[in-house]
Amino acid sequence: MSITGGSKDIFDAIFRSKPGLTGVLILTIIIGLSIIALVYVPFDISSKWNDITFWQFNPRLAPPSWINFFLSKKLPETIIIGEKDFAKYDYYVETAGLKHIVLEAKLDYLYEYYPSEVNAILYVNNSNGMLVTLKWIQPNGVEIYLSRLVVNDGINPIYFCTRKDVKEGLLNTMAKLGTVPPDTIKPEVLLFSDLNPSGGFNILRGTYRFKIEAETTSRNATIDSKLIVYGRVYGLAGTDSKRRDLFVGIVWGAPVALAFGLIAAILTSFIQTLLGTLSAWYGGLVDEIIQRVTDIYMIIPFLPILITISVIYKINIWTLLAIVVALSIFGGATKTARSMALQVMNEQYIEAAVSYGASRKRIMLLHILPRLLPYTVANIVLSVPSYVFLEAALSLLGLGDPAMPTWGKIISDAFEGGAVVHGLWWWVLIPSTLIIMTAIAFAFIGLALDKVVNPRLRER
């Protein structure tokens, strides 16, 4: 047995060596991520990833919330006051024919940083237009008159940060108190600041109240509201410029990367091994053709062809996989497998099989290919990272599947969104780390397997 051992050797090699075990451990974590992806994210990712409304309750460009762990002053999390948290009462004034509805929500704000945005959403039904007054009452009792507006039936988002009347309301309040307003009016800051002249615009911690007073002529009219105070941190992996939860993207990237890498590696390795074995076994013209085609394939510029194809045709990730496999059915392993098969063919049991009348096909499938299996397995393991990198690289070049959040795609978005310039580290570092970890995991397992495949390293 000069070339390869059996499948037992493979397991021994992986589980009895430190690199092997480390690799398996990392891989288990990544596979765990893939399982989380299926459980934690039960929706169809490819249809939702680019849907802006799906992500509207997330802060923009927020770092992961675990950074609070390392900070003495905690960054605020997003606070959402839902419909049910609003205290609500209504009455109908028969004489005027007006229905009054008052909603009030309490909000405990104890952070030492201002939120990133404040929005409210009004859900109005069965009215023919409703006059709504929004008020903001700070813990110290200062009441800020935010806005008075007419809303129609349906969903009415109100963005405090960009509304003129909110700014005016703030200015009026400050004027009333005799405070000199700051140079730039940032509603999300001022709403949470001490507006007294002595306050110096410091953050005011305590219980805020948000009050909605609605009037309408319709007796059946209802109004509900949601208040969103966007934090400055979000989730396990932060968010991107489109408010998307990067953890979802990264978790989804794991199965995509593994599937892409494994399928590409398995298919190319098996096909290459098979072709190499065929080449050795048939010899002559078949050998010559396979070897020459391999030579040609090995000098074909792989990336330019891929780029050309994905520029001309709009491809999704599985088409990309098919093209990658098609472009590597002949390769280095064809040559290696050929020489290994030649060595196995020289062993006496092959001739013994010929001498009792076994057919060529039988000898190849039963006696030669299984001997190359450990090599093929190692080859698969070692080539997975390169395909994971390839997918990431292609996404980075903008040639990937636009609908699917892959690690490469996230990094590509990050570059487009100026993540590096603006120091949005989580957007780049987390997916990159995962790509590298995947590569390291497979490289470690490959290193452990090298002892099985490379006879010179075998200790006997």
Nearer to another protein, 41 or 353 (CB): 353
Least distance (Å) between residue 354 CB and another protein: 6
Least distance (Å) between residue 295 CB and another protein: 20
Least distance (Å) between residue 378 CB and another protein: 17
Eight-class DSSP state of 406? -
Site string for another protein, 355-384 (x = CB under 8 A): xxxxx--x---xx--xx-------------
* Bridge partners (DSSP) listed for residue 108: 207
C-alpha–C-alpha distance, residues 225 and 241, integer Å:
26
Nearer to another protein, 292 or 362 (CB): 362
C-alpha–C-alpha distance, residues 114 and 1, integer Å:
70
C-alpha–C-alpha distance, residues 428 and 412, integer Å:
9
Strands (E) located in 64-141: 79-81, 87-93, 98-109, 117-125, 130-137
Nearer to another protein, 94 or 459 (CB): 459
Taking contact as CB under 8 A, which single stretch among the options 66-74, 102-110, 190-198, 345-353 is the one that binds another protein? 345-353
Nearer to another protein, 258 or 340 (CB): 340
Site string for another protein, 61-80 (x = CB under 8 A): --------------------
Among 80, 189, 259, 353, binds another protein (CB under 8 A): 353
List C-alpha distances in Å: 29 to 120, 251, 369, 377: 39, 11, 32, 21
Q: What are phi and psi of 287, to 5 degrees?
A: -55, -50
C-alpha–C-alpha distance, residues 441 and 31, integer Å:
11
Taking contact as CB under 8 A, which single stretch among the options 69-77, 351-359, 392-400, 444-452 is the one that binds another protein? 351-359
Taking contact as CB under 8 A, which single stretch among the options 50-58, 192-200, 262-270, 344-352 is the one that binds another protein? 344-352
Under 8 Å CB-to-CB from 101, ≥6 apart: which residues?
A: 88, 89, 90, 212, 213, 214, 215, 216, 221, 222, 223
Least distance (Å) between residue 4 CB and another protein: 9
* Bridge partners (DSSP) listed for residue 124: 154, 223
Rounded to whole angstroms, the maximal C-alpha distance in the chain is: 111
Confirm or reject binding of residue 18 to another protein (CB under 8 A): no
Taking contact as CB under 8 A, which single stretch among the options 23-31, 148-156, 249-257, 343-351 is the one that binds another protein? 343-351
C-alpha–C-alpha distance, residues 235 and 8, integer Å:
43
Total of chain residues touching another protein, rule CB under 8 A: 20
Eight-class DSSP state of 69? G
Nearer to another protein, 256 or 372 (CB): 372
Least distance (Å) between residue 15 CB and another protein: 14
Residue 60 carries which side chain, given as an amino acid letter? R
Contact residues for another protein, defined by CB under 8 A:
1, 6, 347-349, 351-359, 362, 366-367, 370-371, 459
